[in-house]
């Protein structure tokens, strides 16, 4: 019945990556949602991918206000934030 929604984990990861850049179609997004409802590994990958994208988008907005965007301290803080996001 839902055979048309079935995709592999590799396809799910590709759709997830496309989705982060607004390049995934509606049907691809539906396939991804169906897949992550049953695949906890891909659900975790999608969650982490969204978190990383959010971190980098927020940082890029901050960087637009500065000529020299990241100090060494900022880099270390970003690394720690990324580690925290990846472990949750």
pLDDT tens column, 61-87 = 777 776 666 788 888 998 998 888 888
Give the helix, strand, coil percentages of the chain, each rounded to 5. 75, 0, 25
CA distance 53 to 37: 21
Residue 8 has pLDDT above 80, yes or no: yes
Domain span at residue 40 reads: 3-87
Q: How many domains is the chain built from?
A: 1
Query: Is residue 16 very low, low, confident or very high in pLDDT (cuts 50, 70, 90)?
Result: very high
Instruction: Give residue-wise pLDDT tens across range 25-48.
Output: 999 999 999 999 999 999 999 999
Paired tokens of 66 = 């500065």
| CA dihedral for 26, 28, 34, 40, sign (positive or negative) | negative
| CA dihedral for 84, 33, 11, 18, sign (positive or negative) | negative
Q: Give, in order, the Cα–Cα distances in Å from 9 to each of 13, 29, 66.
A: 6, 14, 40
């Amino acid at each position: 019945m839902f055979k048309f929604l079935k995709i592999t984990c590799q396809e799910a990861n590709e759709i997830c990556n496309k989705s982060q850049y607004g390049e995934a179609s509606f049907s691809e997004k539906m396939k991804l949602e169906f897949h992550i409802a049953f695949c906890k590994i891909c659900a975790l990958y999608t969650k982490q991918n969204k978190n990383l994208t959010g971190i980098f988008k927020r940082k890029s907005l901050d960087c637009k206000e500065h000529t020299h965007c990241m100090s060494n301290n900022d880099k270390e803080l970003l690394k720690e934030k990324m580690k925290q996001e990846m472990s949750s």
